Structure 1
Amino acid sequence: MSTYEARLAALRDQLKRDRLDGFVVPLTDEHMSEYVGAYAQRLGWLTGFQGSAGTAVVLPEEAAIFIDGRYTLQVREQVDPAHWAYVSVPETSVADWLGAHAPGGARIGYDSWLHTRAWVEAASAALAERGAELVAVDTNPVDAVWPDQPAPSAARLIVHPDSHAGRSAADKRTDIAQWLVARGADAVVLSALDSIAWTFNIRGQDVERTPVALAYALVHRDGTADLFVAPEKVGDDVARHLGNAVRLHDRAAFAAALGGFAGKRVAVDPERAVAAIFARLEQGGARTLALRDPAVLPKAIKNPVEIAGHQAAQARDGAAIVNFLHWLSIEAPRGGLTEMSAAEKLRGFREATGCLRDLSFDTISAAGPNAAIPHYRVTAESDRPIVRDGIYLVDSGGQYQDGTTDITRTIIVGTPTAEMRDRFTRVLKGHIGIATALFPRGTRGQQIDAFARRPLWEVGLDYAHGTGHGVGSYLSVHEGPQRIATFGGGDEPLAAGMILSNEPGYYKAGEYGIRIENLVLVVPRSVAGAEREMLGFETLTFAPIDRTLIDAAMLTAAERDWLNAYHADVLARIGPLVEGETRAWLAAACAPV
């Protein structure tokens, strides 16, 4: 019996002991985080799946894993089809699948600290149609059969200085207090880790790749707050930084504290707070107000200090990328490089800046067919050599105290095929379509997503992921609420100060993948004769785009002008930050097409 087969069997045995006929295992934590600490990696432990989004359902005779289009190939490589059915979302939701597959009269368990209230309502309704019920568990059965489950991180909090934040934590709490007063609310629950980090100007080391700390917070209408965090994580410097207006409590005391709001009106974000928070508040006599976390939008709209910090981080990161690309241009044709060795070298260039705090996500270092897996993560088992005449895709980023970066470059080692050049150029045309977009204030990301897809659509092609995600300020590399996507979000109006990625792609299963990604800042644009306030994008990421893969004849004059101007900007900004042969290589890489 394989390791994962044994784990699935152990969970089924535990479910029998718990008098349950099934259980739902999401990839998240008590804060609805995208990236979670090792202790919360229940889905990966149970199934072997290493993607960053997914859910599993275990029933007595069948089991299914739910993934979106980013992981269609990856799930088949990592999860055994003999024991797991692959289900694509959003085509089929977990609730719908349960409604079709759960046995009549079944008791299906869920951990109320790992699901939103909307999910609970949808799943309960679907199960009721089968005469089955959804049952909240007191103890997660996966934890009961995971013998070496890591403990939550005990790393200390870090003060994020106002010189990088651009605003004091006291000012932010004052704004939240005014927001509460305007809505007739007494307090708001902050449970999203990046919202807590932003509001209190603190950072942490509890989740790899995202500088957040495991904590909860309650902010009151008088501007005071209660912060729930393990005591050993708070040093004297953090205590002084937080001040007397922030009362400190053990994180373990949070659930009980929710019972102390009888007769009070408490705001809770239904998208970011788990069902258990609503239940504890309402059981204690509070009236809950389903409102979006008041830190979400101001966190997304960067202030001038955050924008300047991000620009400095991008220049530093761009120099590291250029050093890497130059090194790759020499070493890759010689042979001997692999996905893992290249990723490690790239990390070394970032570390050489002396400012790297962490990567912003696990580097996607993908050669040949692995590049066709949009969110591929290299392992010792999957590590491929980087070979001549093959495509190498590297999607990577760094966490710096002044900014978070994310960049993808696709490189040909040798000579591309005509098809590769055609596909790459279509992706580039889509990238330019976003970079040069003009749109009236109030436009949503979903309205401009097609700008990136049109060159692919024209020949019957597409890609199964969004075109752009928001990016934090020394916080999460995937930050809402802004997105450029027609599915899974994208309905937030874009506002000046927001940072997003611009990353169209193309993936040919079993052969190669292409993606070109820069980060962009939403800025006001002056348009002669305009009757509406107009916005556009300012590109923030500076590194050359592989000219060998470009079919210049496919570019319009305006697209060629954009590319040449972009490369001239790369050379002007990054050239002074690199030396010698690297500088000469950069000049050639940025030559006009």
Structure 2
Amino acid sequence: MVVRSVTVGTVILAGPVTIGTVIVIGSKNLGTMTVAVPVTVGTALITDKEALLWTDGRYFAQAENQLDPTCWKLMRDGTKDVLSITNWISRNLEKNSFVGCDPELVSINEWKEWKETLEQSDKQLVPVHVNLIDILWDNQRPNLPDKPIWKHDIQYSGASISEKLSKVRSKMREYNVDHIIIHRTDDIAWLFNLRGGDIPYNPVFLSYSIVSIDSVKLFVDLNKLSNSIKKDLEDDNVNLYQYDLFHQQLKIDVHSKDSSDKYCASPSCNYAIQTIIPKKQLVIQDDIVYELKAVKNNCEIQGMKQAHIKDGVALCSYLHWLEENIEINQDLTEYSVAEKLRSFRSEQINYLYDSFETISASGKNGAIIHYTASKQSDRKLTRNELYLIDSGGQYKEGTTDVTRTVHFGQPNNFEKECFTRVLKGFISLASCLFPPNTTGARLDSMARRALWDVGLDYRHGTGHGVGCCLNVHEGPQSIGTRIRSDNYLVPGMVLSDG
């Protein structure tokens, strides 16, 4: 391949084109390749001698079980004696090596960090616009989803498009920028009161948007919009473009508008966007819509409460059914009972679908943080083992994410102690009163302290933001150790606890 003649190493990331941790069937990612890696969050480095995968603690067990060790070397990111990908490249590739990466799959922040680190050891990071995964797929890549985009009514959103655009433009004037580029699909769905079905479990659609002081552009698959939605958007002065014209139109805008115009892009925008906008015109700043969306209005808060009441009914019905059937039905498996939970949720009015792939894990499988039952791993439920159910639902009113661990027999003393210490942390965090300008990092220790007291811990975050009939994982709010020091918790934000 031409690319191989100019690069010694090629970096490939798991995630969709718009930068994220969810998989779009048919998009550029590692996770949907049969010959590639099974995890949805990871970074691979392929050289002429080795293929290495970096992933974090959530996926260690899964990667160990599913990676072919004759092809891949697992790099347990964040653990002792394991080099980061840039440090590995710096130490193992020859001087003056070129490392290629698709700029549409790397954020502005990541590109900057990687470039600076590699240059210190005389390596060069170069954009490779011909994606190697695309070449390998040839014509066998699954088609993109063709589900229609639908209107999220104001009875659920609580604010019109024009009201939201007014808030965005007010912030733009405050930041002294003329245009902002919106790349997150859930930000765009929220701003335009639309929902879709391009990404499994997330009611969003592939899109970009450019909001200017005097205009707004939405880039989307126009075939997925009904005529009535198109008219509503046009009535709000939204100019519609095909999704794949975004980069081309951005170039046109930059060259046709005043050279003093300022464009605001989030550090998490893909690096390809930065290559289009002249340095003097580009302002790298946190996404305005991202932060506005995180603070729910009264209508959204009430909707989230209603969604959790419905979900609670479904989950209680499910656990009661499990308790009654685990003894008399010897064929209950992780997969079959997850399907039963889905059937209980589907009885609720305005249930759409699950908010993520259900983690139904019996016994040792409960230790795999993002476990998915398969034909090879599917275990039967018994009264002799712990059972973990981590699941959620998408409702028109809101989104849920609930985890429970149960035992239908007699747990041993260690299981009782762990359960009790986790419960103490849950209660401590849920009942905590804290002052303004508090971050999730400061609260995280409350959830872990009872475990720390006996030398125990867990390798994942404690809580994350939750969208309102949107992505089950939403930022910038979160509770954990790996979060920014200025991500303050604000009234109106919704987070999970454990």
Partner of 1:68: 56
Partner of 2:226: 235
Report the residue type matching 2:68 in the other structure.
Answer: D
Report the residue type matching 2:254 in the other structure.
Answer: F
| Secondary structure of residue in 1 paired with 2:277 | helix
Partner of 2:296: 302
Contact residue 441 and residue 483 of structure 2 kept, 8 A: no
Partner of 1:174: 166
2:88 matches 1:97: yes
Contact residue 470 and residue 498 of structure 1 kept, 8 A: yes
Q: Deviations over 1:159-204 (max 9, x none)?
A: 1111100000111111111222222211100011011011111111
Report the residue type matching 2:474 in the other structure.
Answer: E
Q: Cα–Cα, structure 1 residues 423 and 278, in superposed 2: closer, same or farther, change >3 Å?
A: same
2:327 matches 1:333: yes
Partner of 1:122: 113
Contact residue 362 and residue 396 of structure 1 kept, 8 A: yes
2:126 matches 1:135: yes
Partner of 1:82: 70
Q: Distance in 2 between matches of 1:363 and 1:488?
A: 26
Contact residue 28 and residue 133 of structure 2 kept, 8 A: no
2:275 matches 1:279: yes
2:263 matches 1:266: yes
| Secondary structure of residue in 2 paired with 1:502 | coil
Q: Cα–Cα, structure 1 residues 138 and 59, in superposed 2: closer, same or farther, change >3 Å?
A: same
2:36 matches 1:39: no
Contact residue 367 and residue 386 of structure 1 kept, 8 A: yes
Contact residue 317 and residue 350 of structure 1 kept, 8 A: yes
The two structures, once aligned, show a CA RMSD in angstroms of: 1.7
Q: Distance in 1 between matches of 2:29 and 2:426?
A: 36
Instruction: In structure 2, list runs of 5 or more residues that go unmatched.
Output: none
Partner of 2:473: 478
Contact residue 17 and residue 28 of structure 2 kept, 8 A: no
| Secondary structure of residue in 1 paired with 2:378 | coil
Contact residue 333 and residue 413 of structure 1 kept, 8 A: no
| Secondary structure of residue in 2 paired with 1:395 | strand
Identity %: 35
Residue 490 of structure 1, CA deviation: 6.6
Residue 82 of structure 1, CA deviation: 2.4
Q: Distance in 1 between matches of 2:448 and 2:491?
A: 24
Partner of 1:545: none
Q: Cα–Cα, structure 1 residues 424 and 48, in superposed 2: closer, same or farther, change >3 Å?
A: farther
Residue 261 of structure 1, CA deviation: 1.9
Residue 351 of structure 1, CA deviation: 1.1
Q: Distance in 2 between matches of 1:286 and 1:229?
A: 29
TM-score, structure 1 as length reference? 0.79
Partner of 2:433: 438
Q: Cα–Cα, structure 1 residues 474 and 176, in superposed 2: closer, same or farther, change >3 Å?
A: same
| Secondary structure of residue in 2 paired with 1:409 | strand
Residue 406 of structure 1, CA deviation: 0.5
Q: Structure 1 residues 431-440 or 260-269, which shifts more? A: 260-269
Q: 1:322 aligns with which of 316, 324, 330?
A: 316
2:13 matches 1:26: yes
TM-score, structure 2 as length reference? 0.94
2:197 matches 1:205: yes
Q: Distance in 1 between matches of 2:134 and 2:296?
A: 39
Q: Distance in 1 between matches of 2:6 and 2:292?
A: 46
Report the residue type matching 1:266 in the other structure.
Answer: Y
Report the residue type matching 1:265 in the other structure.
Answer: K
Residue 24 of structure 1, CA deviation: 1.0
Contact residue 48 and residue 78 of structure 1 kept, 8 A: no
Residue 70 of structure 1, CA deviation: 1.0
Residue 126 of structure 1, CA deviation: 2.9
Report the residue type matching 1:309 in the other structure.
Answer: G
Partner of 1:53: 41
Residue 48 of structure 1, CA deviation: 4.8
2:369 matches 1:394: no
Contact residue 159 and residue 241 of structure 1 kept, 8 A: no
Contact residue 261 and residue 286 of structure 1 kept, 8 A: no
Partner of 2:149: 157
Partner of 2:97: 106
| Secondary structure of residue in 2 paired with 1:82 | coil
Q: 2:137 aligns with which of 130, 136, 146?
A: 146
| Secondary structure of residue in 2 paired with 1:399 | strand
Q: How does 1:488-567 map to 2 (within 5 A)?
A: 488-489=483-484, 491-503=486-498
Q: How many residues align?
A: 486
Partner of 2:423: 428
Report the residue type matching 1:99 in the other structure.
Answer: S
Q: Deviations over 1:135-174 (max 9, x none)?
A: 2112101110114212322322111111100000111111
2:355 matches 1:364: no
Report the residue type matching 1:345 in the other structure.
Answer: K
Contact residue 394 and residue 408 of structure 1 kept, 8 A: yes
Residue 475 of structure 1, CA deviation: 0.5
Q: Distance in 2 between matches of 1:411 and 1:21?
A: 50
Residue 286 of structure 1, CA deviation: 6.7
Partner of 2:375: 380
Q: Distance in 2 between matches of 1:253 and 1:195?
A: 19
Q: Deviations over 1:251-289 (max 9, x none)?
A: 121101111224121111112x1000111122xx87011
| Secondary structure of residue in 2 paired with 1:385 | coil
Q: Structure 1 residues 87-96 or 317-326, which shifts more? A: 87-96
Contact residue 96 and residue 123 of structure 1 kept, 8 A: no
Q: Distance in 2 between matches of 1:213 and 1:165?
A: 17
Q: Cα–Cα, structure 1 residues 362 and 336, in superposed 2: closer, same or farther, change >3 Å?
A: same
Contact residue 96 and residue 122 of structure 2 kept, 8 A: yes
Contact residue 102 and residue 127 of structure 1 kept, 8 A: no
Contact residue 465 and residue 494 of structure 2 kept, 8 A: yes
